[in-house]
Structure 1
Amino acid sequence: MDLLLHLRGFTAVADEMSVSEAALELGVDQPLLSRRLRALERELGVELVDRTRRQIALTPAGQALLPRARHLVDQADHLLRSVRRHERARFVIAAPAGCDPAPLARLVTLLEEAGVDVRLAGENPAPEAAAWTVEPCDPDAATWVTRLGAATAPGGDERPISLGALRPRRGGESTQVLALARDLDEPGGRLRRLADGAGIGPTTLRGAEHGLAVAETLAGRATLICARHEAVAYGLVWSPFIDPVLRGHRLVEQPPVPAPLAGGPVREQALALLGASVGAPVVAGVEVTGEAAE
């Protein structure tokens, strides 16, 4: 006899005080549940349910068994959940610092609903166990391309500007131009080359840690080159560059991947949300809508 199966039936009957309702709860036929209950009574040598009344009730033996039966059923359920959780490989996504958290949160929800046990990790260094790693690269070879612009203190103008508009003016007050290390140190030095071509030399353009760069910009002492989501998160005014000043990220994928992410709509939505987290509105022809696109 499957003792656990029969104890589960007994506890269901005790909860519902009805064999028919307990059968519905367990998804089995009523006659089958009745046979299991009688088989359990024969195995234990006692009556667990008083059937002489109009509404069934537990006998003293049934009342004594109930808490022990509940404990065994709960422990078995806990054991099954633990084993299944460990058997299911955790899907690790290594995302770069400064990602927009709203699309990342939607990505986690999407994957959990698809049955994927997901964990977010940082990029420095990316964990070896990461199945998906988002890493910087040249925009020409990127999975996602993010447009950069100039962030200034509140009260500024959001109209598109040229990169050259940030160069020092002869006889005018010079404003420091800051950029995040990820953009200044990108492969190929694209931003430095574009800045040099626009007349913004290394004495004007310098790298800064994100928090310090935002503080200097909020204080009105600097202009920060960054993506839109990195500016609006702190209340800065963001003006996109007319010039093609871009940041690139690519996806590095380590197989195997869970079935929902091997292809189809879940994968497309996941990649779109991951792209939106780095400021790219479109990936693989899938446009992000809702919060991620704002």
Structure 2
Amino acid sequence: MDLVDACRTFTAVSELGSMTLGAAADGIPQPVASRRIAGLEKQLGARLLERTGRGVSLTPFGRDMLVPATRLVELADEMLLGADRAKLRPVSLAIPMTCSTRDLAVLAASVKDRGLRVDFRSGPPGRRADDLARRRVRVALQTVPADEGTWAVELGCAHRSPLTAPMRIADLRRSRSQVPGDDLELAGRRLRVTSEDNIPHIRDRIRRSAETAGLLPYQVVVDTSDPEAVAAVLSDGDLMLCSEAEAAELDLPWTPLIDPVISRGYTLRAVSDEDAALLADFAEEFAGCLGGSIRAGSRRQSAAEVRTQTTTDRAASAMGSGIGRST
């Protein structure tokens, strides 16, 4: 016997004083209501109702049992309502600030087709890692070295004027002389590194390459404000490290960086196996949001791999959130 259903019928019949009316209010046939009441009486060991000429009335035992039966039904209803709300609550997802509105809309639409909703929370790498560790979000796109990620995003340089050839960081060296036919004099220009790339395996590699190429220290700038970096590109003629999709979103020309070759890597992390499984089938949509591609040779992450948030991950995230100062 379903105790909750039996108590629901018992409270309905008691309130209306009729087996027939109580059954109708409960949405069941009258014989089913009678069987439920009889089963409840058998389980509790005493009669709950007495038949009268007008219908039914509570026995003294029935009056004592009506209060806990009503409380049980209310708790069951509250639980069902909470379950419905939980199913409707969106999955909070920490994403890079570089994701475009349209690409996020494509992901949201794909997820919605599966009966899910996503609440996007954009932020830099360190904040995304911290939000996941503190469970302010349920899932996060974490930055990792490109060869460890599920997705890879090729990086290049955006500029206010078209660049005719792929970039080498040595092109920014002040001693470089103008080559006939060049459309742009790059010598002495600065390279801006935005918040999404202010992480050790990208930022430090850029700085080492710049030092090896003979650039002056001030020529690599780690910006604390992405709009400030874009403003420097537009007003000062600086270059900005970014993906091709970001440059297109800003309506800026873009060219690949071929020396050094650098790519962002991303992987999905979640606080539970269930959340990991919910988003595991949307690799292509995530690639579109990131402006990259599913990394060749990468395999689909298992729920346990997505969920894993080890101490090492958190330490690396903390290092990545170290604030780079403009130089």
- Select the residue among 275, 278, 287 that pairs with 2:290: 278
5 Å matches for 1:1-294? 1-3=23-25, 84-88=84-88, 90-123=90-123, 124=127, 125-127=130-132, 128-153=135-160, 155-157=161-163, 159-170=165-176, 174-187=188-201, 189-208=204-223, 209-243=225-259, 244-257=261-274, 262=277, 267-268=280-281, 270-283=282-295
Q: Give the Cα–Cα distance (whole angstroms) in 2 for the partners of residues 161 and 187 of structure 1.
A: 20
* Structure 1 unmatched runs, 5+: 7-79, 287-294
Q: Give the Cα–Cα distance (whole angstroms) in 1 for the partners of residues 244 and 169 of structure 2.
A: 15
Q: Give the Cα–Cα distance (whole angstroms) in 1 for the partners of residues 106 and 158 of structure 2.
A: 26
- Report Cα offsets for 1:133-153 as digits up to 9, x if no partner: 112222232222211111110
Is 2:149–2:295's contact at 8 Å kept on the other side of the alignment?
Answer: no
Shift of 1:227: 1.2
* Structure 2 unmatched runs, 5+: 1-22, 29-79, 179-186, 299-327
- Report Cα offsets for 1:186-233 as digits up to 9, x if no partner: 347222223333333422111122111111112243111111122111
Shift of 1:171: 6.9
- Report Cα offsets for 1:111-165 as digits up to 9, x if no partner: 1110113211134242514332112222232222211111110x42253222322
The one-letter amino acid paired with 1:206 is V
Alpha-carbon spacing, 1:262–1:206, altered in 2? closer, same or farther (3 Å): same
Q: Give the Cα–Cα distance (whole angstroms) in 2 for the partners of residues 149 and 104 of structure 1.
A: 22
Shift of 1:255: 1.7
Q: CA RMSD in A?
A: 3.1
Q: Give the Cα–Cα distance (whole angstroms) in 1 for the partners of residues 84 and 164 of structure 2.
A: 52
The one-letter amino acid paired with 1:230 is E
Corresponding position of 2:19? none
TM-score (normalizing by structure 1): 0.60
Q: Give the Cα–Cα distance (whole angstroms) in 1 for the partners of residues 195 and 213 of structure 2.
A: 19
Q: Give the Cα–Cα distance (whole angstroms) in 1 for the partners of residues 210 and 26 of structure 2.
A: 71
What is the number of equivalent residue pairs in this alignment?
Answer: 208
Q: 82-91 or 101-110: which moved more?
A: 82-91
- Which of the pair is proportionally richer in helix? 2
Shift of 1:82: 7.8
Alpha-carbon spacing, 1:230–1:239, altered in 2? closer, same or farther (3 Å): same
The secondary structure found in structure 1 opposite 2:217 is coil
Is 1:138–1:187's contact at 8 Å kept on the other side of the alignment?
Answer: yes
Is 1:93–1:132's contact at 8 Å kept on the other side of the alignment?
Answer: yes
Indicate the percent of aligned positions where both proteins have the same amino acid. 23
